[in-house]
Amino acid sequence: MRRLRAAAFTAVAVLLVLAAVAYGLYGLMNSRTVQTFGTLVDRVDTDEKVVALTLDDGPTARTPEVLDVLGRADVPATFYVNGKDLAAHPEYGRQIVQAGHELGNHTTHHRRMVFVSPSTVRDEVETTDDAIRAAGYDGDITFRPPYGKKLVALPHYLAEHDRTSVTWDVEPDSASQPGAYEIAENTVAHVRPGSIVLLHVMASSRQSSLDAIPDIVARLREQGYRFVTVSELLSLRD
């Protein structure tokens, strides 16, 4: 009887340890502020009122409309693009670069980069880098993991190649699809000096996110904020 109890106790203890490990790995995988290797930035610690506007996915046929909105607001942005979309529509990438915006790497296929091989990581990152260079962008290429997810292979590759992983600290349209007013309210309420704002504007279902940009820009500028690209924001780090 004692042996059975001891065995049961051991089994329960092992299960609890495994559950704790799994919970910890899940938290690390989804963390916006920590990764296993290399440099991750979700915002820059600064007293200067600067903020980076970042736009994920695409480019798509909506790119000219997005650029028109940004142009009328006179605001720079950093576009985290998918390599397959950029390769399919290089003209949109060139338009982004010619308008003075920044291109960042969001992998080729926008897949979850968690349980993947090192060769898959290399292909997903480097193929997109090539497409970004082919679009005429010659600045530093920062990287953003799809869905913000990463664990070991991806951070290890980025660290080996001295690449910065960029997440975000303000994501007003990620949990649902609110209206433009709610997106602007949420953004303005949570931005602080050095913030990185994530918006999704490349799909037709995300019209509210695009419509929110002029209001976000106007209201933050009224508070004294200046908009910069991610590379410009990173240059402010100590």
Identified catalytic residue from 109, 123, 140, 200:
200
Q: How far apart are the first and last CA of the chain?
A: 63
Identified catalytic residue from 56, 85, 129, 173:
56
Contact 70, 202 (CB under 8 A): no
| φ and ψ of 167, to 5 deg | -105, -130
Catalytic residue flag (residue 200): yes
Q: In this structure, which long-range contacts are made by residues 113-122, counting pairs with CB atoms below 8 Å and at least 24 apart in sequence?
A: 113/145, 113/146, 113/149, 113/150, 113/153, 113/154, 114/29, 114/149, 114/150, 114/151, 114/154, 115/151, 116/153, 116/154, 117/153, 118/153, 118/156, 118/157, 120/153, 121/153, 121/154, 121/157, 122/157
Q: Is the dihedral of CA 69, 71, 72, 78 positive or negative?
A: positive
Strand partners of residue 228: 52
Strand partners of residue 81: 105
Catalytic residue flag (residue 68): no
Q: Is 101 helix (H, G, I), strand (E, B) or coil?
A: coil
Give the residue numbers annotated as catalytic, written as ranges: 56, 200
